[in-house]
A and B are shown apart, each in its own frame.
Chain A
Amino acid sequence: MSVTINIKNLVKTYEKVEALKGTSLQVKPNELFGFIGPDGAGKTTLFRILTSLLLADSGTVTIDQWDVVKDYKKIRKITGYMPGRFSLYMDLTVEENLQFYARLFGTSIKQNYDLIEDVYEQIAPFKHRRAGALSGGMKQKLALSCALIHKPRLLILDEPTTGVDAVSRKEFWELLKKMQKKQMTILVSTPYMDEAALCDRVALMQSGKILSLDTPQQIVDDFKGNLLSVKTQNMYPLLKDLSAFEEGIQVYRFGDTLHLVSHYSPEKTKSDLTEYMTGKGYKDISIEPVTPVIEDCFLALMNNTTDA
């Protein structure tokens, strides 16, 4: 039921910006595939090409045996797309929106209710409310219901959790996991690194390039070096001072701490660094070895490419 996606050397240039610089990847059937990257990484452009809304300058995309340009009509029938911007009719009620999209695909709410049940029952109490009056999380659930109403075999979600509160985000990802069990290939993009761990595989994207593509676990395992979290009473000049610290390969802000990557053992780096910082006059120094998360991998990869 679910589909395979083959993307080869995709290039798309807007007037002066290169949005995609020869992207290639393959998505397996029934995979929950994540595209992680900051704004402007090219995620939306890629999705718009996949959904036949945009023509690529060069390169090909095939979804199963269908070409995204030639067979766009077939692809539109089997694809559920949820754009990054809320794109349903604000002046229609929840139920009317769903009915409208069901009819566009020549189906009815009843026919595919089993598929959307998990999502729709959460917003059903508000089904007579206008879509414009829903909260952010509920809007996204409605948009997901509308994208699912025609039993798509491929679900493409462009930043579905941006601007959604933490609880709704969690619920939304639980729903995606449930959908995956119903024989669907799911592509999802997000700027939130913590959501990457929930995908089967992720592609880390930046400026139209894929920096890394693997399972979240593998990406973390591939992290080179040892990671230390550094905190002190005066954080402001610390970034500059740590950049000058010889044992550090990379230093970057991470929440309210700084992360330092080093090739030496954590113990050695810790004692050397404590000495170095004390010499610089810092007080209340706290240095802890930490295990890297996806965000560390991403920031490390990002810095590598900018250096190169």
Chain B
Amino acid sequence: MLPIIILIPILQLLILSYTATFEIKNIRLVVVDHDHSPESRNLINKFSGSKFYKYLGQKDTYKEAENSIAKGTADQVLVIEPDFEKNLLTERKGNVQIVTDAINGSAASLMAVYAMSIINDFNGNILVKKLPLKFKGIPVKTDSSFWYNPDLNYITYMVPGILVLLITIIALFLSSMNIVKEKELGTIEQLNVTPITRFEFIAGKLIPFWIIALVDLFIGLLIARYWFGIIMAGSPLLLVFVAAVYLILVLSIGLFVSSLTETMQQAMFISWFVLVVFILMSGLFTPVESMPLWAQKLNLINPLAYFIKINRMIMLKGSTFSDFHNDFYILAGYAAAMLTFSAIKHRKTS
């Protein structure tokens, strides 16, 4: 069992970190060029040259292009109007149409943004090349730089979050399953007639999992550093300290689940339910800021949300304790309350 507990999270970290990315690459693009002019070719070259696009070629009619979206062989269609170049030069306005497969909404909006940025870029070039005299320059030039993750590298962003997720799974499942397993096998009956106290029992149950989860975290941090090359900006000791407190909270929730349930199946179901809600709301995959207000409020009781936030702050921003002390105190208070509550709930006599 121990090798599995250590090995599985490592595999998950390696797999998930590469796959859980928001970047969209290889957008399959079909072009319907009604103009066939040098300018339309330039525009097409802009697209096919982009690292986000995979240029599939041209179709003669819009109908055919639409069909390839319908069949799922293309993600986006670029339609260039007849006399695109002529209009551009005479009326200073050329029309193109972008059609995007929006089955996956968030992917579609990203694809649309990519297309817009390429067209904007193209616009800028035209203004410079074709209309040098009229061009007064863009009054405000926006140039973005991204802090804490300069390359907008999703791996850098995801790895700390996934790490949190993995130690949470380990801690929650091991603790909730373990005591229920004793109930199911009847071994708890024999333990209950011994003089060990409730707190000794709980400590004996939680401490091993606490250590295992911390070891997993440590291994995960090594992988983040030496495999993914994420150099931790903040103090690793601080991170481990916060994790230690956070794990007490997760283990207490596991203990609480196992005091509510009688069989492993029930415990499994409740743990999964709690975990999935916590994960999806935590801000790991979608930003908390874009959730409705009530969901953001609900995150006040989501341990995962606190720890993912603190973890990213330490790992990527190099935050120190004073930067997140409020979140930490909430986490610590929450852990203390939950542990006490679960311990009281777990009674030896029925």
Chain A: residues with CB nearer than 8 A to chain B?
Answer: 51-55, 72-73, 76-77, 79, 81, 83, 85-90, 101, 104-106, 146
Contact = CB atoms under 8 A, between A and B. Distances in A.
Residue among B189, B192, B195 having the largest count of chain A Cβ atoms under 10 Å: B195
B189 A87 contact: yes
B322 interface: no
Interface string B265-297: 000000000000000000000000000000000
B189 A104 contact: no
B187 A87 contact: yes
Given A83-B186, A86-B186, A87-B187, A53 B192 contact: yes
A54 B196 CA distance: 17
27 contacts: A52-B193, A53-B348, A53-B349, A53-B350, A54-B350, A55-B350, A73-B195, A76-B194, A76-B195, A77-B195, A79-B193, A83-B190, A85-B189, A86-B186, A87-B186, A87-B187, A87-B190, A88-B190, A89-B187, A90-B185, A101-B194, A104-B191, A104-B194, A104-B196, A105-B194, A106-B195, A146-B190
Interface size class of B (residues with CB under 8 A): 10 to 19
A87 B185 contact: yes
Interface SS majority for chain A: loop
Residue among B191, B194, B348, B349 having the largest count of chain A Cβ atoms under 10 Å: B194
Interface string B324-350: 000000000000000000000000111
Contacts of A53: 189, 192-193, 348-350
Contact of B349 (A72, A79, A104): A72
B193 A51 contact: yes
B193 A81 contact: yes
A86 B184 CA distance: 12
Contacts of B189: 53, 83, 85, 87
Nearest to A73: B195
Contacts of A55: 349-350
Residue among B191, B193, B348 having the largest count of chain A Cβ atoms under 10 Å: B193
Contacts of A51: 193
Interface of B: 185-196, 348-350
A89 B187 CA distance: 7
Given A77-B195, A104-B196, A54 B349 contact: yes
A83 B191 CA distance: 11
Nearest to B194: A104
B190 A52 contact: no
Residue among A53, A87, A88, A105 having the largest count of chain B Cβ atoms under 10 Å: A87
A55 B350 CA distance: 7
A77 B349 CA distance: 16
A81 B190 contact: yes
B270 to A, nearest CB: 23
A83 B189 CA distance: 7
B1 to A, nearest CB: 9
Contacts of B185: 87, 90
Nearest to A152: B193
A-B pairs with lowest CB-CB distance, top 9: A87-B190, A85-B186, A104-B194, A87-B186, A81-B193, A83-B189, A51-B193, A87-B187, A76-B195
B154 to A, nearest CB: 42
Given A87-B186, A88-B187, A89-B187, A105 B193 contact: no
Nearest to A86: B186
B3 to A, nearest CB: 15
Contacts of B188: 87
A83 B187 CA distance: 9
Contacts of B348: 53
B210 to A, nearest CB: 21
A204 to B, nearest CB: 26
